[in-house]
Chains A and B, each alone.
Chain A
Amino acid sequence: MAESDFGEYVEARTGALLRLAYLLCGNAHTAEDIVQEALVRAHRRWDRVTRAGNPDAYVRRIVVNQHRSWRRRRSSTELTVEPSGLPPSAVGDSQDALAVRDLTWRMLHELTEQQRAVLVLRYYEDLGDADIAELLGCAPGTVRSLAARAFAQLRRHPDLAGYDPPEPSTTAIPSAQEDAP
C-alpha cells in the first residue's frame, strides 16, 4: 500500500470532504465522524482505490453512503441542522439576503436526503447528472426528477415562491419509464 500517497490524499482532500459532508448533514460533529469513517474505510483498501484511478469518487461515495446510513439511524424528529449564525462570507449583504439564505439552508434540510444530495452535488460540487447518478446508484433521469421535486418543494415556502425555477432543461421530470428504479 502506498502509505505516503494516502497521507498526501488525506491532507489535501479532507477539507473538501468535510465541506461536502457538512452540507449534506448540516452538523459539524457529524460531518467529522462521516469523513473520518470514510477515510478509514478508504485506507483499508487503498491499493484497490488507487488502482481504480479516482480516489475522490470512491471516498465521496462512501461519504454519501455514510450520510444516508447516519440519517436512518436518527429519529425523524431529531434536530439535525445546527441553528448557526450568519455565514461569515455574507458580511455586507443586506439583512434580507442573509435571511433568505438562512431560510434556504433550513429548507434544504427539510428535503429528502436524496433530493438534498442531488442539489449539493450539482450546485456545490458542480457534478454533472451522469456523475451524480453513478455516485447515488440511480439513473440520470432520477437525478433530474429529484432535483425538480426538490425545487418544487423549496418553492412551496411563501418566501421562496417568488424565485424563478431553474432552467427546465436541467430539471425536467423524466418519464415514468426513465424514472423507474
Chain B
Amino acid sequence: MNRLDELVRATLDDRAEQAPSPIPVVNRVLARRRRPTRRAWLVASAAAAATAAIVAVGVTVATDPDAGSDPLTAAETEDRTVTIYSLVLERFLRTSADWRAGNVPDQVYVQIRPDEDAGWDFDGQAAGDPIPPDVQDEISAELADLTTLSWVEKFPPSVRGDTRETSDPAIRLGLLPSGDQVNVSVSAYHGFDNAWLTTYVVARENGGPWRITGTDAPMGLT
C-alpha cells in the first residue's frame, strides 16, 4: 500500500470496527419515542383543561355574561411560537445575502430573548421575555437539517469580528405579536460590515397553516 488515500481508507475501515454497539442507542431512542412527548402531554393537558374550562365557563356565563373570548392554551401558544419563528428563521437563512444557495453557516447563535430593536443593537441583552427551553429545542429541531442553532442569553465576543471570516454568525429575533397576521423581524450580524434586517409578514386563514405571505419592507443591509 503506497498511496495515502488507500492508507486512509484502510485506517477508517479498521477503526469503524471500534465504533460502539448500536444496541444501547437503539433502546434509548425507541424508549424515548414511546414516552409521550412534552407537546403531546401539553395537548392532553390542554384538552383536560378545556374540558374543565367548559364547565367553568358554564358557571361563569351564568354570573358574568360579558366574559371575553378564550385565550390560547399553553400548547397552542408553544406550537404557534415554534411554527412562526421556525418559518421566519428558515426563510431568512435560505434567502438572505451570502447565506443563500447552500452557504448557510453550520452554526448560528440566536438570542433567547426576542427584541423590538432586532437588528441594530447587538450589544448586551435583548429585552423580551426569553423563549422557553422546550420551544428553543423545537425550533432547533425544525431547522436541524439546515444548521445548528445555539441559543444564548448574550452573544459571545466571537460574534464581534471585523469580517465575515472572523465572526460567528448571529441572529436576533423580533417580538411575536398575537393575532392571525403578524409582522416578525429577524436580523443577522455576520461581521462588522454584514448586518441584515427584514420583517416577514406571517399569516393564516381560518385556523389553517401559517405561511409567510411577504415582507413589509425591503431587506436592510449594512
Contact = CB atoms under 8 A, between A and B. Distances in A.
A79 interface: no
A69 interface: yes
A3 interface: yes
Nearest to B147: A65
B25 A65 contact: no
B25 A105 contact: no
Interface residues of B, number: 43
B103 A123 contact: no
Instruction: Tell me the dominant secondary structure on chain A's binding face.
Output: helix
A165 B6 CA distance: 10
A166 B28 contact: no
Contacts of B138: 44
A14 B5 contact: no
Nearest to A52: B145
Contact of A101 (B5, B14, B148): B14
Given A14-B25, A104-B8, A166-B5, A87 B15 contact: yes
B67 interface: no
Contact of A87 (B18, B33, B102, B104): B18
Interface string A132-143: 011011110000
A122 B138 CA distance: 32
A155 B7 CA distance: 12
B29 A14 contact: yes
B141 interface: yes
B178 interface: no
B29 A36 contact: yes
Contacts of A165: 3-5
Contacts of B12: 23, 108, 119-120, 123-124
A41 B22 CA distance: 17
Interface of B: 1-5, 7-20, 22, 24-26, 28-30, 32-33, 98, 102-104, 106-107, 138, 140-142, 144-145, 147-148, 150
Interface of A: 3, 6-7, 10-11, 14-15, 18-19, 21-23, 28-29, 31-32, 35-36, 39-41, 43-45, 58, 61-62, 65-66, 68-69, 72, 84, 87-90, 97, 100-101, 104-105, 108, 119-120, 123-124, 133-134, 136-139, 151, 154-155, 160, 163-167, 170, 181
